[in-house]
Every structure is written in structure tokens, then in C-alpha cells.
Structure 1
């Protein structure tokens, strides 16, 4: 049941490691563990069952499951056949699932058994069968294994739907070569070895969890601990239990561990040599507080779904606020409005080229042409600056740029200042329409328990540290900011209408200040 370790397939690293170290722990779940040998056998058995269901190379299979070891078995089982896995958010509605199934042309749905009837109803509407994914990823007694499909690097292996901030979500096609390259690059960046114990609370249906974490572990031959649902206490419990050496997460996770995990100390982090942050900009104040409190190195990386989570990586000597330089085998440029390289420390759009850039958007040639040039450069839509040493600093999304009276305001710059305030735990800065300035700056913040900070104090704090046009003219206090499945703050879910009313004085104000 070895499979061939020299095939061109996403499971090749698994086959290689299972041949070398079959008893080594591959996946550590809350209730069970999978050795490399067991994981290989279960993946090939699952692939065999899929093959008897009629799944063949090139077909699309929708997968909806939480971050459990069985996700890994099904995910790799689909890919072992040369089929295309379409992982989607476990919080997807029936209408969203129907859209994903139709848009990707899925011929089968695999759904975790505890997710209710939504997936079954969506599959029935589409007229495709649905499989229930249960504990142990059981497919029936006596399943014979499949032989791993030997494909090509340019074969599509994953379709990941973007968040759809504008229009309907688009499916980014990631190839076998993209995913394998992401694992290899991640291993080099993290310096990972089979001795590492990697842990995450990220959802595996997201590109960060799949490629920058799962493929990192499998390619290195390391173990990977999975947390089905993130909380600061659960993450710390996993850290202690499994003596993690590498931990991966997003900024809100590190922030939660700082503020919500009672009793946590540097002693809990004694084995942890590296924490990797991605998914969103890491506020400098959070980074420095985390490293000071826990005595742990926290490095920031930058990538997108369309680049298989790979772009830049900030080593230990990267300047504060920087996401570092281009990853191995990757080129990064910051370009001005004319498409030419911008001068050092000048804001422009970030472009990425390398082996992890997607093939394109599924059945969206026009959308693909808008962001992907013929020579392989991907236009990210992110605004950044590059210094003379090629360190990149992300200052915001092009679509989130606030233009106040003709001046550009980058939300991340304002947020970084707000995070330095001792009472502010989380902050999000957005633009709201203004009849005179075009847009006005608004901040939505979460403060610590018992804080007596008001909007006037926050504005005064910002005024001491920012140019006048960057100061928030509206400050709204909330108990929590809206977040997505990875914990990333969702600015599109912030109610701009309420902020606009606060600006004009129509909303109730303990939370508003006009400036």
C-alpha cells in the first residue's frame, strides 16, 4: 500500500514521508492521532472508495468539513485520484453551496456529518450525490487502495473561492505545482524538520491552513496538531499538550492570546521556536507585546489565495511593520499607477510572480486577464511600499484606500496608532461618504473591560501621532468586531450607515465625536 513516491501529485510528500518514517505522528487531533503510515493508507483507501463511486481525474468534488484529521484524509483522497477538491467554509449557506457546486461543476459533495442538512439539500438541488464524512473517515469495510494518479504540475488540484468582496466569489485554480511549491517554500522559510511539532487553529478550508501549514508539515515530515475551533485557552492547551515548536495563526489569534488567556506565561512557550502570522496585517503593538510577554519570535508572512498563500516572509531582522522580502523562487514588485516600479518607500500596488501563482479563475477568463499578465505577474490589489533593502510594508487594500479631501489615508497606518493605545484591544478603520471631503475617516474599536476611554481621548491620541487628515472623525465602540472563518476582521461587515449617521450627529453618541 506504499503508493509511488515519485508521482506528480499533491500526496507525493505524504508517500515519501510514510516510506521513510511510517510510525512518526503526522496528524494530532483532539481525540485521535494519525501516523504517516496510517494517513497514507487511509488516504489511498479513501481514494479507492471515491474511484468506485465514479470519481475520476479532473472531476470536481466539494468538501465541507471543519479542521479535523478526517478533513485531511478526504482532501488528500480526492487529490490522490487526480480529481479537484473544492473546500468551502463550514458556515456556508444552502444558497452559497448551490452556487459553489454549480460554478465549479462538482459531481460529488463530501460533508462532515455534524453539519446538518444544508449540504445534502444543496447537493439534491444540484442533482449530485453527497457523502457523509465521519470520525475515522470510514468508507466501508475492506476498501482496497487506489494508486496515486501520476499527473502534471499544471493540472488543477484545488479550487478555492475568494471571499467575494465585490460581485460573486471567483474560484482560484491552484495547480499541483502550486501546492507542492508552497510546501517546499514554506519548509525553507520556517526551517522545518521532522522534529518539529506544528500547530494551528486556522480552518483547513482556507488557503493559509491548507498550503502554508498542512503542506509545510507534510513536506517537512513534521507532526501537525489541529484545533477544530479556535479560542485562546484551547490554543494554549494544545501548545502545552503537544509541546509545539511552530504555531501558525492570524493577528486576531495572537491578540486574543494576549488578552483572553488568563494565566498564560512565557513558560508555556518554552518549546515554541517560531510563531508565523498571516492572513492580515499584524499591528506592530500586538507583535511587540506578544514577543515581550511570551518570549517568542513572531514573524509575519504575506500571501493570497491566488498565490497559494506565498508571497513575502519577514525574517527575524525585518523592519517593524514589514512583511519582509520575497519568498524563495518568488519575485515581488511595487508598481505605480503607470505600471512601473515605484521609487523606494513610495506607495504602489503589489505584484507577485512565482511558482505559487494560480493558473487563473475557474471559467472566468476576463477576470483572470484583469489580474494575471501573460508573463506571469499577479496584480494583488494590495497597496504597499518597498524599501531599499526590498522589505515590503503592506499599507492597505486598494479598495479600502480612503481619499479624504484629495489626500490618501491608508487604514492600516491609522489602525497601528490606535493599537498602541493601552485600552484598545481591536480596531478597524474604514471610510464613509462625506459631501465635502468625499470620504471621512471612521474607527470602530474594542476596548478592555472597565475602560473609561471615550472618543475624545482616542481622537486626541491620534492627533498627537498622525497628520490632521488621518485622524478619525467618528469613533464607534463595540463589544466585538465582525470576523471571518480565519479570525480576520471583516471590514465589509461594518455598518457604514451607522457611522455616517454618527458623523452627522443623528446617532446616539457616547461613541461619537465630530471633528
Structure 2
């Protein structure tokens, strides 16, 4: 097998269909397939073969797809990298993965060069400037075959965000990713060649790769690319090109709702949210505004990523991450790994065809995350109800312990989002001499909002237990976001003036 066949089979049967679109520029499946064949020829000319690692450091542009499938064609391993990384970070990822080549977008070339210089690395950099790169590919031999790989062979190494120490490379196999695309399609998206899928999620991340790039290519649909998410630009693309499927993280949903002039999107038939907890109030407002059901799911880089999802047609629970996709098991466990009863909060564990092979070159970290029976410990705290629907309470490391009581930030954030003046909110724990930790909230307001910090604090206090409401509230212009649109709580610092 080979993950690339999800794309090449479609390209062979639908060569004239538009595969990817970036604004007015579009590329057909046939043209994209030829480009990937010439990428494979370029790789072979550089001595790249099965199992070799090749890094791709591009934004959401058509060249990402041709490089991705070109690398896979040769049996090599794709190492996707955020094009906004700095030289120090580039050096670590290239050195850790042992990448033979790195393809860099022009805006990333200087940092890549700096990373290679610092590492004294022998990795070769190829700058992907659209016109000159097309000319380079035109001179390469086409390699039209696809190298056979075993289901357990590594296809992609995805580096985790590194919130605790250095990033770890999750080894996702051809079997992991192929099966995850197939269940995403059958259980959730049900794409057809007539669909237009919004491609604003970063393709260097697992959510964007599985649910937009690979799922779209497997179905013969069209991927509507946006190089970097901007709500105004996204709204324009969704309306202009009649997008039928929107995949995003919660901050994208909030940003679209905050637009002063909201677009009409009658073609939307499916919206999916993942990457972080979607506040129920945001879900309600989005569905009321745009008339499209929003289905929330759950997964991690280590699970390819889709592990669970709500289903369309009423088979969902608001605030839930749904239930396991086909061929995947979830359970809630205690510290020793024993399953907990319905309703009790513990750590979510996952087992199935989507779970990674391990962390690249890190057997100790792999053993700590994956037990002998194949259960992956996610680090997320959650519970399951009597109907088998799972709920993420919070990240294990984000739980606030105030005076011996556990406070789950998501619960407090849900209340904050119910206030009409709140556009975005993040609840964190800050050190406290008496209680150990105190509950604090950073809040971004909607345009024209008049609420005060004290009023917002009182609003939450009236709806939660006394130990849960945030004693510290402060307003910010915007919350810090990671490359996939997640709120980065580790970068939030409470100002002294936030004290009540």
C-alpha cells in the first residue's frame, strides 16, 4: 500500500477535475499528478529512496500537495514543518528527523539557511519559488509509479507542539493515515466530486492533512486553499466559490462570527470543528447565523488525528466530542490505567488503527505514552456518558487545583462565552500563596463592548461554585494563537492590575 494512492487513483480517473484552488489560480488532478511525478524524479536525482525523510516547509499552496505526494511516491517519509519556524527550531527538527532534503517557501528560506548553518547539517535546501520551481520540475524525469510500502511503514513524521520540552515526532504509518481518511470519509464527511472543501487549516498539521487534503483528494473533490487564515478572506472565499464543507478550529468559528458583515453561505452542508474544545455558545451562534450543523470531534497528532466525532442528523451531543470512529476504541482511565465508571473524570485513552507507531527516535517517551496493549494515553481529562458520548473536561496539565479543589478551565470558559460581549476567553491558573493556584481569565471583547472586568467576574460567579469563578479578569486585544489556531495558554501572563 501507499498513502499516495488515495490521490493517484483519483488523478487517473478524473484528470480534468479541479483538485486545488488558491484564489483564481487552480490546478487539475492531472496537472497535480504530473507535478508530483516530477517531484519524485527530482528526489530520485538527489538519491532519496524509501524510508528517507524529506521536510516540507510551505504554507497552504498547491505546491505543498505536489511535494507531499511526490515524496510519498518514492516511499520516502514526509516531515511537514511550520513555515513560520525560526532557525533554532528548524535546526532541531531537521537534525532530529535526519531529513535529506528540505523544501522551503521563499519567506522561510532565510530561517532554514540559518538552521542548517547552525547545525552544520548536510541537508540540502530547495527553495520553492513558484515560477522558478516550475521551471526546475519541467527539467526532471517523470516517475509515474508508486513505491509499495507496508501498512506499518512510516509515511509522515508529525512533530508535536512541544508544550513540555522539545517537540516529539509522531510516526504515522501508511496504514494509520489511509484508514483514518477512509473512516473520516465514511463516518463524517461523505465527500463527493461535487464538494468544495475549505482548506484554511494548516496542511503541515494532522487535522488539515487528513480532513482537508487527503480526504478531498481521495474523494475527487476540490480543495479551496487559504495560505493563512484571515476571517474576512475566508468568508469571501467561502461565498465566492460555494464551499460546501468547512473544517476549522474554534477560533476560526469565533472569528467568522465577529465579522461586522457576515456572508451568506447557502452552499455549506457540513461544518466540523476540532483541535480544541468548541464553546457550546459559539456553536449555537454559528448554526443560527449560517444555518449549517457543526459537528465537533477529537483527536491528536498521535492519532492521525481523528479518534471520535459527533455524527450528522441528530446523532450528537452538544459539548461532546462524540463517540469513537469505526475501528477505534476510547475509554476513561485512572492513573494506573484502570477503566473508570460512567460519569467519572479520568484520562482519555485511545486504541485503534489510527494510533501512531511511536515517537521518532524516542523509545522511552513512546513507552510512557503507549502501553503494551496499544492504548495511547492522551493527557486529556474527560468522561463518558451512558450513551457512549465522550466529553473532554480539559488538558491534564491545564487543570487548576485551587485549595484542593479541581477547577476545569473549559467549564469556566463556557460560561464566559455566554456573555454577549465576549469574543474569546482563556482561563488559566496563577500561583497563590494560600490556595496554591487561583483562577484567572484573559478575555478579548467584541467590538463596541462595554462590560467591565468586575461585571464579567460577577457574571461567572453567579453561575458556578464559589471556588471556580475567576478572581482575576483582564482584557486583551487578542489571545495568543498557535499555528493551528489554538489558544496558547502558556503564553498568557496575568497583569498585576487584574487583581480584584
Q: If the TM-score is normalised by the length of the shorter chain, which range does it land in?
A: over 0.9
> Which residue is equivalent to 1:343?
341
> Which residue is equivalent to 1:98?
91
> Which residue is equivalent to 1:45?
38
**Structure 1 position 398, deviation (Å):** 0.3
> Which residue is equivalent to 1:81?
74
**Structure 1 position 450, deviation (Å):** 2.8
**Structure 1 position 420, deviation (Å):** 0.3
> Which residue is equivalent to 1:130?
125
- The answer on whether the counterparts of 2:276 and 2:486 sit within 8 Å (CA) in structure 1 is yes
Distance in 1 between the 2:388 and 2:226 partners?
35
Distance in 2 between the 1:447 and 1:381 partners?
30
**Structure 1 position 31, deviation (Å):** 4.2
Distance in 2 between the 1:111 and 1:286 partners?
36
> Which residue is equivalent to 2:213?
214
Q: Determine whether 1:112 maps to 2:105.
A: yes
> Which residue is equivalent to 2:265?
269
**Structure 1 position 452, deviation (Å):** 2.4
Distance in 1 between the 2:295 and 2:106 partners?
37
- The answer on whether the counterparts of 2:200 and 2:229 sit within 8 Å (CA) in structure 1 is yes
> Which residue is equivalent to 1:352?
350
Q: Determine whether 1:284 maps to 2:283.
A: no
- The answer on whether the counterparts of 1:182 and 1:308 sit within 8 Å (CA) in structure 2 is yes
Distance in 2 between the 1:193 and 1:460 partners?
49
Distance in 2 between the 1:378 and 1:443 partners?
31
- The answer on whether the counterparts of 1:112 and 1:134 sit within 8 Å (CA) in structure 2 is yes
- The answer on whether the counterparts of 1:182 and 1:212 sit within 8 Å (CA) in structure 2 is no
**Structure 1 position 416, deviation (Å):** 0.4
Distance in 2 between the 1:30 and 1:449 partners?
29
Pairing 1:274-423 to 2, within 5 Å after superposition: 274-316=270-312, 317=314, 318-423=316-421
Distance in 2 between the 1:21 and 1:27 partners?
13
Distance in 2 between the 1:123 and 1:435 partners?
46
> Which residue is equivalent to 1:226?
225
- The answer on whether the counterparts of 1:326 and 1:332 sit within 8 Å (CA) in structure 2 is yes
> Which residue is equivalent to 1:512?
499
- The answer on whether the counterparts of 1:44 and 1:148 sit within 8 Å (CA) in structure 2 is no
> Which residue is equivalent to 1:144?
141
- The answer on whether the counterparts of 2:109 and 2:127 sit within 8 Å (CA) in structure 1 is no
Correspondence for 2:480 among 479, 482, 490: 482
Correspondence for 1:24 among 4, 14, 17: 17
Distance in 1 between the 2:447 and 2:219 partners?
42
**Structure 1 position 85, deviation (Å):** 1.1
SS in 1 for 2:147: coil
Aligned length: 492
- The answer on whether the counterparts of 1:109 and 1:123 sit within 8 Å (CA) in structure 2 is no
Distance in 2 between the 1:69 and 1:120 partners?
23
Distance in 2 between the 1:52 and 1:450 partners?
59
Consecutive unaligned residues of structure 2, counting only runs of 5 or more, are none
Q: Deviations over 1:225-277 (max 9, x none)?
A: 110011111111111122111111110001000012x3224xx2111101111
Distance in 2 between the 1:113 and 1:456 partners?
48
Distance in 1 between the 2:420 and 2:9 partners?
49
Q: Deviations over 1:109-166 (max 9, x none)?
A: 1101233411123234312211111226523434222221111111111111111111
**Structure 1 position 108, deviation (Å):** 1.2
Distance in 2 between the 1:477 and 1:278 partners?
26
Distance in 2 between the 1:130 and 1:186 partners?
34
Please tell me the root mean square deviation across aligned C-alpha atoms, in Å: 1.3
Distance in 2 between the 1:281 and 1:377 partners?
22
> Which residue is equivalent to 1:4?
none
**30-39 vs 270-279, which moves further:** 30-39
Distance in 1 between the 2:138 and 2:237 partners?
33
SS in 2 for 1:126: coil
- The answer on whether the counterparts of 1:251 and 1:278 sit within 8 Å (CA) in structure 2 is yes
Distance in 1 between the 2:455 and 2:344 partners?
31
Distance in 2 between the 1:88 and 1:277 partners?
22
Distance in 2 between the 1:35 and 1:367 partners?
42
Q: TM-score, normalised by structure 1?
A: 0.93
> Which residue is equivalent to 2:241?
242
> Which residue is equivalent to 2:254?
255
SS in 2 for 1:114: helix
SS in 2 for 1:468: coil
- The answer on whether the counterparts of 1:87 and 1:160 sit within 8 Å (CA) in structure 2 is yes
- The answer on whether the counterparts of 1:351 and 1:380 sit within 8 Å (CA) in structure 2 is yes
